């Protein structure tokens, strides 16, 4: 069934080299760049996946951005978690519909948007962030995605509760299903995680360096071994391939190491 793009929607224009250009559609406006000018009115009403021409005659594919494509183009206040890691996080933390998930910190909101989709309309995402400047950027990114991208799934996404709090100082929410920490020193929050995560709940930490993961592992082993069972430590590396004519080979560029994913499950203390 046809689902034409409408005024107020966010779309990406893709050129012949795969480069994308972000446009928030506004009737009677136009988008001017080095490839010429494209009137928004020529895009509004087209089906997703249609082709439009600039006044220079160059062709562009009109698409509603996926979440990964949106993340690549959105404003960033801090280093984001890459889509390849977000995908693994959703599986390794077993984010399920109806779950109550706490994340700290919110960063630019990339993981938050994926969590809101995964927990569904009956779920809840609680985000702790102590830096006001990051909160402002993240809120704007999240609201723009769900309000202006038709395929974002606004009607079936979870409830978002944002708190300007430092998770190192405590977690006021209890009986949480999942806790995700994207922090420089996650071991400093372990005491609060132990108190707030329900039995059987999952703790997931994301850190860029092996020294951080090592220190987290040792702290858990020395002080919280009775309450947590480590499920695994992972690194996600993704390499694209390209097909040209009769040739198929790996792409010259790839997203290799970005971070380590540490996963542990809360259990009843053993005497």
**Same domain flag for 105 and 38:** no
Q: What pLDDT sits at residue 6?
A: 94
The answer to the question of residue 4 being in a domain is no
CATH at 28: 3.10.330.20
Are the CB atoms for 115 and 89 separated by under 8 Å? no
**Same domain flag for 257 and 129:** yes
Q: Does the pLDDT at position 177 exceed 80?
A: yes
What's the whole-model pTM score?
Answer: 0.92
The answer to the question of residue 5 being in a domain is no
Q: pLDDT tens, 159-168?
A: 999 999 999 9
Domain tally, the chain: 2
**Same domain flag for 210 and 170:** yes
Q: Does the pLDDT at position 268 exceed 90?
A: no
Q: What pLDDT sits at residue 223?
A: 94
* Mean pLDDT, residues 98-111 taken together: 95
**Same domain flag for 47 and 125:** no
Q: What pLDDT sits at residue 80?
A: 83
Domain span at residue 258 reads 69-266
Q: Does the pLDDT at position 70 exceed 80?
A: yes
**Same domain flag for 162 and 250:** yes
CATH at 161: 3.40.50.150
Q: What pLDDT sits at residue 78?
A: 79
Q: What pLDDT sits at residue 55?
A: 92
The answer to the question of residue 39 being in a domain is yes
Angle of helix 83-92 relative to helix 110-119, nearest 10 degrees, comes to: 40
């Amino acid at each position: 069934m046809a689902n034409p793009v409408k005024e107020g929607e966010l779309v990406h224009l893709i050129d012949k080299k795969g480069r994308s250009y972000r446009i928030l559609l506004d009737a009677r406006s136009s988008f001017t760049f080095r490839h010429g000018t494209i009137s928004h009115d020529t895009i509004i009403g087209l089906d997703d996946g249609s082709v439009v021409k600039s006044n220079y005659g160059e062709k562009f594919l009109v698409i509603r951005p996926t979440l990964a494509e949106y993340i690549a183009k959105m404003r960033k206040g801090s280093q984001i978690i890459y889509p390849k890691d977000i995908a693994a996080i959703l599986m390794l933390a077993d984010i399920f519909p109806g779950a109550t998930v706490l994340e700290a910190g919110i960063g630019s909101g990339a993981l938050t948007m994926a969590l809101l989709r995964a927990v569904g309309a009956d779920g809840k995402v609680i985000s702790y962030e102590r830096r006001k400047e990051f909160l402002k950027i993240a809120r704007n990114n999240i609201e723009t995605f769900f309000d202006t991208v038709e395929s974002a799934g606004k009607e079936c996404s979870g409830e978002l509760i944002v708190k300007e709090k430092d998770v190192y100082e405590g977690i006021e929410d209890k009986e949480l299903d999942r806790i995700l920490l994207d922090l420089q020193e996650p071991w400093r929050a372990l005491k609060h995680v132990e108190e707030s995560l329900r039995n059987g709940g999952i703790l997931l930490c994301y850190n860029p360096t092996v020294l951080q993961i090592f220190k987290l592992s040792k702290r858990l082993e020395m002080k919280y071994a009775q309450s947590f069972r480590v499920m695994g430590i992972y690194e996600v590396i993704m390499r694209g391939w390209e097909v040209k004519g009769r040739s198929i080979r790996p792409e010259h560029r790839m997203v290799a190491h970005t971070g380590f994913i540490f996963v542990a499950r809360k259990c009843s203390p053993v005497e």
